[in-house]
Every structure is written in C-alpha cells, then in structure tokens.
C-alpha cells in the first residue's frame, strides 16, 4: 500500500525481493548503487490524435451529475445485496498518481461496475495511506512539515486525479491513516495485541537502516537492503516492540489452500512462512553432561551418519565448551567470520557471482555424545551454520548433505553412508541427499527413509530426549520505528508497573507537532526530545512515568484499513459490529503482487488476531484476491528511478479518461500486465469515435433480425464471460469487432445500440453515459441491468464445418446445424481440395464432431 511499488510507489515498479532498482534519488541516500539521475519525467508524448468529440465537457458534467445524485453511494446500513469491492489505497506521494495506480484502480473499478449492473450494492471506497518514512523523508528534503505536505498531496490525489479517472468511488467513506480519528484505533489495536500477549517488548539484534535511521521488519529487508531506500541494512541491538505473527504461522499457511487468490501470491506466502517439519534433540557435551547442544533436523533417518556437530560462530555455547588451548583460534575465527559476512553481502550487492569459497571452520576441542550410539563426535564452529535459523547448531551428516560433505572434505572429517538409493549403487564420491533404505543403522537397518524417520521420532519422544516440531522462516513483526511520521506506540513505562498500555479513553496518543522531526540516528526517536510528550503519569498508579517514543510501522496502518471503511463515520468503534457483519470479509480485493509478503500477510495476521480476541467473526479478510500485472515501457518496468514515468494526467487531458481506461485495459491480460505504448492509444481513440458515430445514426425501431440478434447475443456472451474472468483485453477486442460490424450495416436497432452501451459502461463510463442520453435514453446507463444472454438466439440454421484429410484442413463447408455424419461426409468428399488430398484413396475412417469438423483418414 503505502509501500506499494507498481501501483502506488513510483520508484520501484515491482519485484519487492529484487534489489535491481536503485533507491529513490534522495540526497541522503547512502545506497550501494549509483543513484541514476534521470530527467524527472518524460514529456507527454502525444502520438495519437485526440478524439473529435468534446470529452472534457461531458466527463466533467457527468462527474458532477453522478456526485450530485449520489450514484455511487451505497446504503451502508441496509444494502440488499452487499458487495465489497476493494483496491489497495495509495500512498499520496509528491509525484502524484501514476499510470500504474490508474491501471490497478481501473481494473478493479470495471469489476465493481460490472457487479453493480448485475444487481449488487457495490461498496467501492478509497482512502490514503499517508503515514510513513517516504513522506517524512520528502518533507525533510523540502524543509516542510509532513503534515502540511501530506494534506496537500492528498487533496491533489483526490481532487485532480482520482476524481477524474472515472471510478465509482464512494467518497463518503474516505479514510486517511494520519487522521487522529483513524490512528486512535491503530493504537487501540496495538493495545489489544498487547493484552493478548501478541505485542511483546524485546531487546535483541535487529535490522537497522542507517539511511532511514530506524529499525525494519524482516519483510522490509530485501537481500540485506532496506525495502524503501535500498541502503545496506546493519545489525544492531535495540529494544523494540514485536508483534507475534509467528504465533499464527500454521494458520497463515494452512488457510491459504482454501483462499481464492492468485496462485503466485499464495506461493510467495508459502515460501516466506517456510515451514519444515523435523525433530529437535540435544547432544550432551562429553565431560560436561549438564550441557547439551540442541539441534534440529528434517532428516532423522540419517542420524547414524552423524560424524560431527557444528555450531554457528555466534552460538552462546561456544564460550562454554571451547577448550583452553582452542580459545585463541576460535576468537580469531569469530572475528574473521563476522567480516566475511559483511563482505559476502557486499558481493551480492554488486551482483557478483560469489566464487565457491571453500568452507571454513575451527574445532572447539570439545566432543558431543551421539544420543543413540553413545559415540563421541567432535564439535566444530563454522559460519555455514546460521544462528538465525533453527537452534544455531546442526548434527552434520556429510554422506547425505551437500554442505556437510564439503565441510568434511575440507577438514578431513569422516563420512559415513547410512542411506542407500533404492535399486542403484550410490556413488562413493558424492553425497546422496535423496531418500532410500537405511544401512548400518542398528535396529533401523533395512527400513525406508520415511518409516525410519517416523520410528526415530518415536524413539526420541518415548525416551524424552527430543520432540517433533515445525520450524519456520517467518519471524515476528518488528514494528517500532525511531521516526516521527507515524502513530506513537501507545505504551507508558512506569517504574513500578512496567509497560502499561494507554487506556482506551486516553487514545489517541497524539503525534505532537514538532518543528524538528528529523531522526536522531542514535536509536532514539525525535519524540524522545520532547519532554512534554515523554513525561506523563502511569495510568495504573498515577506516579510519574514516561511514554514510549517510537512510532509504529506504517504497515500496521494499512493492515486494517479495510475494516474501517464501512465504519469510517463511527467514533465509538474501530469497526461497527453490525456493518462489519454486513460488509466483511471483502468480496474482491485487487492489487499488486509486490505486497505478497508485506501488506497481504500483515492484514491476514491482524484479522486472525482480532478474530481470536472475539472482535471479528471471520479469520480471513479477503476471500478473493487477484494480483494485477505490471505495466512496462519499452520493455522496462515503469519506475521513477528509470525516468520513464508515464503521467496519467497528460493522457486524461489530451484524450479523456475513457480513452486511457480502454487503452490500459486493452494492453494485455489484466493479471499479466503489458507494454505501454502510447502509439496504441490511437486504437482506443478510433474505437470510441466509431461508437460515437454509431450513436449519431438513425436507430430502427423494433427487434433486430435473427442474424443481428445472434450477433448481439454472441457479443454479450463474450463480454460477460471475459469481464467475469478479468480478461478485459479480449472483452474490449470483441466490442471493437462488434462495433465494426454495426458500422457496416445500413441500419441497426435501438436495442443493439443500447446493449452495446451497457456492455461498454464499466469500461468507458463517461462516453457510454453521454451517448446513452444522446440517443434519447433516460436514467443513467450505470443503473441499467447487465445484458442477459438469450441462449435460443445464439442458435443458427447453418454452421461452418471444417473438412480435414488426415488432420489437415482442406476446406470449409456450410452445413445445416446438427447435420448428420453422412451429410457431412458427402459434402466433404464433394470438395475439390478434399478430393485432391485424398488422391483417389478412399477414407477408411471418418472422425465427425457435429457442427465443428469432419476428418477423413486414409490410413
């Protein structure tokens, strides 16, 4: 949302996990890539001629008329058939809405308009994700306060851009995350999470962005870089608040199966949550039985192949077990490993393929006792084991793991094969990482990998020395930000009562109006400098206390905004229970795939937590989600840093909003995106002009002819199906084709004209309405029912049947509908081309698909 790349964030079109895009060219950027200075934007490149009709006049007129009539305002309390059509609200940047936003919003609006014509009360709200570091940094650069800057950007977005693109927004439910009436509830949600034990105070190593001078969540670090500015993230120990999203790891993963979401987004979430099942157990340290090395493995079947144990360099046990004579070597290695970690990250930044460096490590001098064999195996320290994953230590099985193999080879450690591939001899000079049959594994010898894994897990459980468990890639969501432009963390620290949430009746904790709101860079936030803010009293005992001085991650703002829209005017609840029952969960959510593991994951988490708090009666906020595609220009993603921004205003001014809508949707499949070429705009102009001219012709009264009616219902069928499936490009293609067909006729009826206008209404709302009235119709075209397909009208007397010989098409015949095989056979053989292809050979077989084709096979 705020952070969105394609749809809402100009500087990084998509690919949130890819560092390729240089950071926004802000002066304070310390980024690793040259901030390619580009001309701000390319001039409007008007290759096509503007339409001949006066779009500016009627687009303005209809906007006003619709607003005056409240055409898009739903009856929020008493809808007959509620349908919540949601799109990702934008972050109001200084650059303005860009064409990627318009692409996202128009595609979603077509869906909403279509559902509305099908009789639903469609709620299509819009709002602004206006808190965040981006606004704050821009404000710093301009020397202006973020509040005034944000207010101006919001006004520009709403009045000069969003209101002109032709969407059926219900502005009476606008939300703005910087409004105290909104962030009051963001803070309230935090206090609920605190009471549930889902918001916890931690001190530990965190991701620190030196450029933005704040900590970041795991999801906001892309290959070691700040998701926002691209600076290399450092590791620092800082106290912070974390939301325990990991508590919901299983639900977040398992619920995905039942959600109707774009597959690529579900796949990304599965990868990110990254669950793996295994067993965790402890290996006692020889001679120090009070100590144990906890390890996690997904392959218990390889346990008899353990020949050594490895600890991560930062592992706390290292100091305890290292023998005195090994201490020097270990200390040196730890220093070296830390340096290598940084160097490796920098190599990745330069997109240099890391040379396959030989593994490194040092022996601790200590030994661990194998829990099943009692054998002693050496304990090493090596940096191929990561402190961040699992227990920070591993049981090494060089025979059956690539990395352990490489390490054993380099260090001269023994290798013991205990799993054999079925039906073949394993190569003795390479690890075998697949499953197979166990050998030299005591009582498990002869069992298959699966069976043995299960039995070994049971052994651990029964002996009380280990337990089955799942490990996840997902980490808790760190939400403290040492910045200014966000909702303050609603916590008060009392010497006696510790961290106390601010009581509900004292919310919001208002963000004070600061003159100097720049981040300090010391790990403290700007709010810490304001004594009147910091000093307060404990809500429990009334004694002097201090406030938390951080603000919350602005992804928390957007993690619940969809709950607020229907209740935006309710001051007593974050979401009105009655309205929430009526409108939620969201029926259709359309947005960018770059939010797969950011906004979309956070929103699911908050919804689950509020469900567990008894505050919502559903677990999943979005039953249907569709990821739209990306717009490219000359083969490159549209991105501010590439200097190829396309400004939608220019196109709306020159060609009208309908033309831009049509063109954008015609570029390619909506879920795939496409190539923006403003030469292509001419096609949209010509199409709309053609329909305009059709509207100026004399319309015949009465019903269309049978053939005309069939053609009409064919286009209804095609446009209906394609609109339903978000295949807007092919729906438009068929309307273009049909309008050309009408144009060639000497005469067509009112029914045909008005039906075409109804089909076009979701796509080109202004011109459809204008022509609707010009041909003398009443009411709004947008209040008309969507045309129904008349199946009977689709049936024809004759049909084109293809004649093939041995699978090759040799001709086309016109046959009566439902012709028999004998008729088709005879007709096919009468064709000159068929006779030639048969070369006098009689067909030995015929495949007949009625009304489709006949294939004569000579054998």
How many C-beta atoms lie closer than 10 Å to residue 818's C-beta?
A: 11
* Closer CB to RNA, 454 or 570, in the complex: 454
- Least distance in angstroms from the C-beta of 355 to RNA: 12
* Closer CB to RNA, 312 or 457, in the complex: 312
Q: Cβ contacts of residue 535 below 8 Å, gap of 6+?
A: 544, 546, 547
Burial of 42 (0-12, 13-18, 19+ CB in 10 A): middle
Residues 204-233 that bind RNA (CB under 7 A): 222-223
* Closer CB to RNA, 524 or 850, in the complex: 850
- Least distance in angstroms from the C-beta of 788 to RNA: 22
* Closer CB to RNA, 667 or 771, in the complex: 667
Task: Name the nearest CA neighbour of 655 among 677, 690, 688, 631.
Answer: 688
Q: Is residue 62 a contact partner of residue 766, using CB atoms and an 8 Å limit?
A: yes
In this chain, which stretch among 31-39, 198-206, 267-275, 539-547 interacts with RNA, using CB under 7 A? 267-275
Rounded CA-CA distance 337/341 in Å is 6
Q: Which of 812, 816, 817, 818 binds RNA (CB under 7 A)?
A: 812
- Least distance in angstroms from the C-beta of 710 to RNA: 15
User: What is the pattern of x (binds RNA, CB under 7 A) and - over residues 738-777?
Assistant: --x-------------------------------------
Q: Which of 83, 248, 261, 272 binds RNA (CB under 7 A)?
A: 272
Residues 814-843 that bind RNA (CB under 7 A): 833, 836-837
34 binds RNA (CB under 7 A): no
Query: 298: helix, coil or strand?
Result: coil
20 binds RNA (CB under 7 A): yes
Q: Which of 132, 146, 488, 674 binds RNA (CB under 7 A)?
A: 674
- Least distance in angstroms from the C-beta of 410 to RNA: 12
- Least distance in angstroms from the C-beta of 247 to RNA: 18
* Closer CB to RNA, 638 or 736, in the complex: 736
Residues 35-64 that bind RNA (CB under 7 A): 47-49
Rounded CA-CA distance 577/568 in Å is 13
* Closer CB to RNA, 59 or 734, in the complex: 734
Q: Is residue 484 a contact partner of residue 551, using CB atoms and an 8 Å limit?
A: yes
DSSP per-residue codes, 457-498: HHHHHHHTSEEEEEE-S---EE-EESSSSSPBP-EEEETTTE
Q: Which of 321, 556, 593, 715 binds RNA (CB under 7 A)?
A: 593
In this chain, which stretch among 208-216, 250-258, 274-282, 450-458 interacts with RNA, using CB under 7 A? 274-282
Q: Which of 38, 42, 298, 345 binds RNA (CB under 7 A)?
A: 298
296 binds RNA (CB under 7 A): yes
Residues 472-491 that bind RNA (CB under 7 A): 473
Query: 353: helix, coil or strand?
Result: coil
Q: How many residues bind RNA (CB under 7 A)?
A: 90
Rounded CA-CA distance 84/116 in Å is 11
Q: Which of 228, 727, 758, 782 binds RNA (CB under 7 A)?
A: 727
* Closer CB to RNA, 10 or 359, in the complex: 359
Rounded CA-CA distance 343/358 in Å is 15
Rounded CA-CA distance 655/643 in Å is 23
Rounded CA-CA distance 569/508 in Å is 16
Structure tokens at 646: 């396309």
Residues 370-409 that bind RNA (CB under 7 A): 383-392, 394-395, 401, 403
DSSP per-residue codes, 624-685: EEEEE-EEEETTEE--GGGT----HHHHHHHH-HHHHHHHHHHSS-TTTEEE--GGGHHHHH
Q: Which of 27, 702, 779, 807 binds RNA (CB under 7 A)?
A: 807
15 binds RNA (CB under 7 A): yes
What angle do helix axes 648-655 and 99-117 make, rounded to 10 degrees?
60
User: What is the pattern of x (binds RNA, CB under 7 A) and - over residues 499-538?
Assistant: ----------------------------------------
* Closer CB to RNA, 15 or 499, in the complex: 15
299 binds RNA (CB under 7 A): yes
Rounded CA-CA distance 101/543 in Å is 50
- Least distance in angstroms from the C-beta of 49 to RNA: 5
326 binds RNA (CB under 7 A): no
CA angle 515, 520, 525 (to 5 degrees): 80
- Least distance in angstroms from the C-beta of 178 to RNA: 28
* Closer CB to RNA, 263 or 505, in the complex: 263
Cis bond upstream, residue 209 (ω within 30): no
- Least distance in angstroms from the C-beta of 297 to RNA: 4
849 binds RNA (CB under 7 A): yes
Alpha-carbon dihedral 807, 809, 815, 819, rounded to 10 degrees: 0
Rounded CA-CA distance 496/160 in Å is 53
Q: Is residue 603 a contact partner of residue 621, using CB atoms and an 8 Å limit?
A: yes
297 binds RNA (CB under 7 A): yes
Q: Is residue 694 a contact partner of residue 742, using CB atoms and an 8 Å limit?
A: yes
737 binds RNA (CB under 7 A): yes
263 binds RNA (CB under 7 A): yes
- Least distance in angstroms from the C-beta of 270 to RNA: 6
In this chain, which stretch among 77-85, 182-190, 699-707, 803-811 interacts with RNA, using CB under 7 A? 803-811
């Amino acid at each position: 949302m705020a952070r969105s790349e394609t749809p809402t964030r100009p500087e990084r079109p998509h690919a949130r996990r890819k560092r390729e895009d240089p950071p926004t060219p802000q002066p304070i950027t310390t980024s690793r890539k040259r901030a390619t200075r580009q001309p701000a934007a390319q001039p409007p490149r008007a290759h096509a001629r503007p339409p001949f009709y006066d779009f500016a006049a009627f687009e303005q007129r209809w906007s006003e008329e619709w607003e005056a009539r409240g055409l898009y305002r739903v009856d929020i309390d008493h809808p007959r058939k509620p349908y919540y059509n949601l799109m990702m609200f934008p972050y109001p940047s200084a650059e303005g809405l860009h064409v990627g936003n318009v692409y996202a919003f128009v595609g979603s609006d077509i869906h909403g308009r279509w559902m509305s014509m099908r009789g639903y009360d469609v709620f299509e709200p819009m709002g602004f994700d206006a808190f965040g570091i981006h606004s704050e940094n821009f404000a710093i650069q301009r020397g202006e306060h973020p509040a005034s800057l944000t207010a101006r950007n919001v006004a520009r977005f709403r009045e000069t851009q969003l209101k002109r693109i032709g969407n059926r927004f219900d502005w009476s439910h606008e939300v703005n995350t910087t409004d105290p009436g909104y962030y009051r509830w963001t803070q309230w949600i935090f206090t609920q999470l605190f009471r549930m034990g889902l918001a916890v105070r931690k001190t530990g190593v965190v991701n620190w962005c030196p450029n933005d001078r704040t900590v970041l969540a795991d999801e906001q670090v892309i290959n070691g870089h700040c998701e926002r500015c691209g600076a290399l993230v450092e590791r620092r120990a800082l106290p912070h608040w974390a939301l325990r999203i990991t508590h919901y790891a299983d639900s977040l993963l398992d619920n995905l199966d039942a959600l109707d979401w774009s597959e690529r987004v579900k796949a990304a979430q599965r990868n990110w949550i990254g669950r793996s099942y295994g067993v965790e157990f402890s290996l006692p340290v020889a001679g120090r039985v009070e100590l144990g090395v906890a390890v996690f493995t997904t392959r218990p079947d390889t346990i008899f192949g353990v020949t050594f144990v490895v600890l991560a360099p930062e592992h706390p046990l290292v100091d305890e077990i290292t023998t005195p004579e090994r201490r020097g070597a270990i200390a040196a290695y730890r220093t070296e490993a830390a340096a290598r970690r940084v160097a490796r990250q920098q190599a990745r930044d330069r997109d240099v393929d890391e040379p396959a460096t030989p593994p490194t490590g040092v022996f601790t001098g200590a030994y661990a006792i194998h829990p099943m064999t009692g054998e002693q195996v050496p304990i090493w320290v090596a940096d191929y084991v990561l402190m961040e994953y699992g227990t920070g230590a591993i049981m090494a099985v060089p025979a059956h793991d690539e990395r352990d193999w490489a390490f054993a080879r380099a260090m001269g450690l023994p290798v013991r094969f205990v799993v054999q591939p079925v039906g073949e001899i394993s190569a003795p000079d390479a690890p075998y990482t697949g499953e197979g049959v166990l050998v030299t594994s005591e009582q498990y010898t002869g069992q298959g990998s699966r069976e043995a894994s299960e039995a070994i897990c049971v052994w651990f459980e029964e002996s009380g020395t280990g337990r089955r468990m799942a490990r996840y890639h997902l980490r808790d969501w760190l939400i403290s930000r040492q910045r200014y432009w966000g909702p303050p963390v609603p916590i008060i620290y009392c010497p006696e009562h510790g961290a106390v949430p601010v009581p509900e009746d004292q919310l919001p904790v208002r963000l004070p109006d600061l003159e100097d709101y720049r981040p300090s860079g010391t790990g403290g936030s700007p709010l810490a400098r304001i004594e009147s803010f910091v000093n307060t009293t404990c809500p429990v005992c009334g004694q002097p206390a201090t406030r938390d001085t951080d603000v919350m991650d602005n992804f928390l703002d957007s993690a619940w905004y969809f709950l607020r829209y229907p209740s935006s005017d309710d001051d007593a609840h974050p979401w009105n229970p009655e309205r929430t029952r009526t409108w939620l969960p969201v029926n259709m959510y359309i947005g960018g795939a770059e939010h797969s593991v950011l906004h979309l994951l956070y929103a699911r988490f908050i919804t689950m937590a509020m469900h567990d708090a008894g505050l919502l009666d559903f677990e999943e906020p979005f039953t249907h989600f569709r990821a739209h595609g990306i717009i490219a220009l000359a083969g490159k993603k549209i991105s501010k840093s590439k200097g190829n921004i396309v400004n939608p205003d220019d196109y709306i001014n020159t060609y009208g909003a309908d033309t831009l809508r049509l063109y954008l949707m015609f570029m390619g499949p909506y879920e795939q995106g496409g190539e923006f070429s403003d030469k292509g705009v001419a096609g949209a102009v010509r199409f709309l002009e053609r329909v305009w001219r059709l509207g100026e012709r004399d319309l015949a009264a009465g019903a269309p002819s049978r053939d005309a009616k069939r053609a009409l219902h064919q286009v209804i069928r095609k446009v209906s199906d394609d609109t339903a499936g978000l295949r807007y490009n092919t729906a438009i293609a068929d309307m273009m084709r049909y309008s050309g067909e009408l144009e060639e006729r000497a005469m067509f009826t009112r029914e045909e004209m008005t039906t075409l206008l109804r089909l076009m209404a979701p796509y080109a709302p202004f011109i459809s309405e204008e022509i609707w009235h010009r041909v003398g119709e009443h009411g709004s075209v947008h209040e008309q029912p969507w045309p129904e397909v008349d199946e009977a009208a689709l049936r024809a007397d004759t049909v084109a049947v293809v004649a093939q010989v041995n699978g090759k098409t040799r001709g086309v015949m016109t046959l009566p509908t439902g012709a028999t095989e004998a008729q088709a056979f005879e007709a096919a053989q009468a064709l000159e081309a068929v006779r030639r292809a048969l070369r006098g050979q009689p067909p030995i077989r015929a495949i007949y698909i009625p009304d489709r084709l006949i294939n004569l096979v000579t054998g």
